[in-house]
Amino acid sequence: MNTVRIKDKTFRVSIPEAEIRKRISVVADRLNKDMADKKPLFLAVLNGSFVFAADLMRMITIPCEISFVKLASYQGTTSTGKVTEVIGINEDLTGRHIVIVEDIVDTGLTMKRMVETLGTRNPASVHICTLLVKPEKLQVDLNIEYAAMEIPNDFIVGYGLDYDQEGRNLKDIYTVVAD
């Protein structure tokens, strides 16, 4: 499927599944090396990161844990700029090495809020791991140590990312095509 139609928009394949998995493998290798003696806690941000988090975790070979949080900042195709914590963190983070697992960082507002929230829980360290980053859209300064890919400021869907909750199940990443 080179193009798909979701609601009122047409999308075309921009990053095939094989390329996504190759890039995740590179990130996983770095995490395995950098976190080898730290037993990190991966905190996957729902809903979008669940596919990335699952594939990443299958490539992590060191002792680790995973948990999930839910933050919301999107409505339709644009960020609302307001972040609302929907599901909180139940684990004790004191002295833990935290790796936030996110599907995409664009404005950085969600990630900034997440890092600030985690910082109040006394972790040993907090690291950002994202499948995708839009460097030209960043509005805040973030240390994104583990980014699988940088992409332009296009609206995308697939591989866990959605358009109004649809399209998460697509195995490739698709970019919106002007209608």
Compute CA distances 117 → 64, 80, 128, 161, whole Å. 21, 19, 14, 24
Closest by Cα among 28, 79, 70 to 50: 70
Tokens of 124: 């040993």
Distance CA 173, CA 19 (A): 10
The reply to whether 106 belongs to the active site is: yes
How far apart CA 88 and CA 68 sit, in angstroms, is 8
Catalytic residue among 55, 106, 162, 172: 106
Give the residue numbers marked as catalytic. 106
